[in-house]
Amino acid sequence: MRPFVSYLALVAGAYAQSSGYTDANTGITFQGYEDTTGFKYGMAVPVTPATDFIGQMVVPSNGSGYGGISLTGEMVGSLLIVAWPNSGSVVASLRETSGYTSPEAYTNASISLNPIANGTFVNSTHMSYTFVCAGCITGDSLSFSASATDLVVGWAMSAKSVTNPSSSSGATFVYHEAGYGDFGLTLTDAESSSYDTWASMATLSNTTSSNTTTCSSTSTNTTATVSNSTYDYIIAGAGPAGIIVAERLAETGKSVLLLERGAASTYATGGRSVVDWNSTVTQYDVPAMDYYLTTASDTSEYCTDVANMAGCILGGGTMVNAMMFVRPQERDFDDKWPTGWKWSDVSSSADRLYERNPGTTLSSLDGKRYDQQAFTTLQTFFSKAMGFSQVDAIQSPNAKTAVYSYPPWDAQDGLRAGPVKTYLPLANAVSNFKLKLNTKVFRAIRSNSTVTGVEVESSTGARQIINLNTGGSVILAGGSMSTPRILYNSGIGPTDQITTVQNGCVSVTLPAEDEWINLPVGQNLRDHPIFTLTFNATSINDTLVSTDFTSPSQTNIDLFAQGSGPLAQSGQRFNFWTSLNSTNGTRFFQGTCSSTADGSVRIKLYLTHGLTSTGVLGIDSNGATEFTTDPWMNTDADKAAVISMIDTIFAAARNSSIIIPSDASQTGASIVNANSYTQGDHFVGTTIIGETNDGTSVVDTNTKVWGMDNLFVVDASIHPDLPTGNTQAIVMVVAEHAAAKIVALASGGLNSTGSVTSGVAPFANNTTPAVGGDDDDDDACE
């Protein structure tokens, strides 16, 4: 999945080449590229390139949207130049790629954008931005070197308006649905002896990459109405955790309100983002569409105020991920989870989940697997060259070393599954449950240690207070990227983060400072880094490509109508798992593999359970969460493990004729040292669970926030460790177990260790609800 600019940094291997043109408005001769969409970019440099260059971006526009350029071929840490129209003028910004999210403003006062007036304008059909990028040739990971010969330049554009368009540093961007790609540029062809004359036309701009924080929030409404309805339980976030907890709480007969900031997703829930070829399924229903959601006609499903990708839609991450359903192995819990959360404690909760939502390695109802050349090729390689054995990942979750499997997917009946399909209908069947969409949870309203309700914000910005019944509870299920924001806004977290909220641009009514609770919210952040390895494979000569899924044949449409065919499958074709032992502990790896073109195969290698890199999530003055410390590959032990694993795969491939590395010069060290990874978007740990309130955890073993009487967190943010694979399955297991604990706590059914008392477990398998009648969601995960 590729949001704006995260795709820009991907080197395509084969890309369009640039050519020269002279701009009629400025007289500048550029070396550049024009795409068939109408997007055009040109560059000019001095005869001896140094630190500056002149650029020109021409973007088709009717007064909205944006255009963007990336200056390197890397996914993370690349310098970006983004421009967009605003009230008849052009606003521009320097940004830095950070992954699957709107890029943050780049902070370095030595780099600036200085516009050239004659080449900067907005008319009825186009926006043109011509500029001197001063200090932009850095020669490091941000940008190209002045001595470079050939460059790869990425580009993207959207027709959709940016948020806060008047602020160069505070604007945020939607996805590049109008076009994206990359092209090659020979730097010597862009050299000109007229450079100094052309550059003198630029005017000094305020568009610099400084450290000054700019407020761009327009949320100034501090008046909130009070809802007439009250509830026993209010759940913030209708992702996988929120839906499961809400349904299980509704089974008790208590009144339950589930709040979701996004809209409906599947057709059955009222979603209407239907595919072109079937008016009764949405883009979220169709398994094969999961790799193409960021280029679909509707991209409203993604949050815009979080540090990285998260699903703001009914179902959260389970609606925007690539459907990988990796049942956790026992040591995923046994290694770092506290008492009451070991596998022996949670196994019955897992059984309850799997009975409703089991996952499958065969999603097509006709019992056939489609487009299997990649599986056949990789099966031969991993069995013969690597010595791996085949398992069924659903049936053998503990087999995670030197094994491969058909991909385990969260699919049922030929459709995307998940709690929206397997739990929500049960909740909707009872009168004591209510789901409210397009409603963002802003904060928990506190009276000292007691939560009395929540303040929410509608899609129009209107605020409302929804109160709890006496004895009720609030459960936060916004995911690792968003639950911390609600806690900061509620006066819970590190003092410096709450102070940022206090001094920020968003109207937040915080508790008195002597009621702030200092907990390590936002710390202990973990994620899976993913390294993409590409290989030549002559045995693959009839693979399906993107158009087979976005514009399918009538044959495949007819098969899908029967719950079968390639449209009923997700995008992976082969999965493997293994581990690496060292003096620094055991680290696990996962591989998800596919073929996107004849003659090639791609391995996405994840570093998973056992990694030691961590980061920190904070909040900015506009109320958006942000990385203050990146969580990827920041320990030597993690780097050494990945280097070793990549080299092991490369060595096996070089000694085999089955698959051949597409770049013979690559090594594990060259890939790792270049930070050539993408984020897994499987974030955990920002409200970590713990046994004692000693400053190292945020919630207790009942998932209740330390220092609070009735505020709970149930989502990926409480997880103290990463699992061996993608996170959605373990998030659901944890939600089942947490729901049992919350119900047992309310009824006195917990023993002295915090475990559910034997015989008092509140749910049985296949339980039908007893009574007739967000915030952001869990983070995106493949």
| Spatial distance between the Cα atoms of 543 and 757, rounded to a whole number of angstroms | 53
Residue listed under structure tokens 């129009």: 460
Determine the 3-state secondary structure of 83 from DSSP.
strand
Contacts for 192 with CB less than 8 Å, ≥ 6 apart? 29, 44, 45, 46, 47, 198
| Spatial distance between the Cα atoms of 396 and 409, rounded to a whole number of angstroms | 14
- How far, in whole angstroms, is CA 614 from its chain's centroid? 17
Q: E-strand spans in 448-528?
A: 450-458, 463-476
User: Which of these, 346, 244, 369, 336, lies nearest to 735 by C-alpha position?
Assistant: 244
**Torsion sign over Cα 88, 90, 91, 95:** positive
Q: Give whole-number Cα distances, 214 to 168, 375, 450, in Å.
A: 9, 50, 34
- How far, in whole angstroms, is CA 140 from its chain's centroid? 26
Determine the 3-state secondary structure of 375 from DSSP.
helix
Residue listed under structure tokens 């129209």: 85
Determine the 3-state secondary structure of 376 from DSSP.
helix
**Torsion sign over Cα 429, 433, 434, 439:** negative
Q: How many helices (H) and strands (E) does the chain have?
A: 15, 36
To the query of whether residue 528 is one of the catalytic residues in this protein, the response is no
Q: Give whole-number Cα distances, 760 to 351, 535, 697, in Å.
A: 17, 54, 28
Catalytic residue (one of 176, 528, 682, 737): 682
Q: Cβ distance 287 to 567 under 8 Å?
A: yes
| Spatial distance between the Cα atoms of 439 and 463, rounded to a whole number of angstroms | 10
Output the DSSP codes for 396-459. -TT--SSEEESPPB-EETTEE-SHHHHTHHHHHTSTTEEEE-SEEEEEEEEETTEEEEEEEEET
Q: Phi then psi for 325, rounded to 5 degrees?
A: -120, 85
Please give the positions annotated as active site.
682
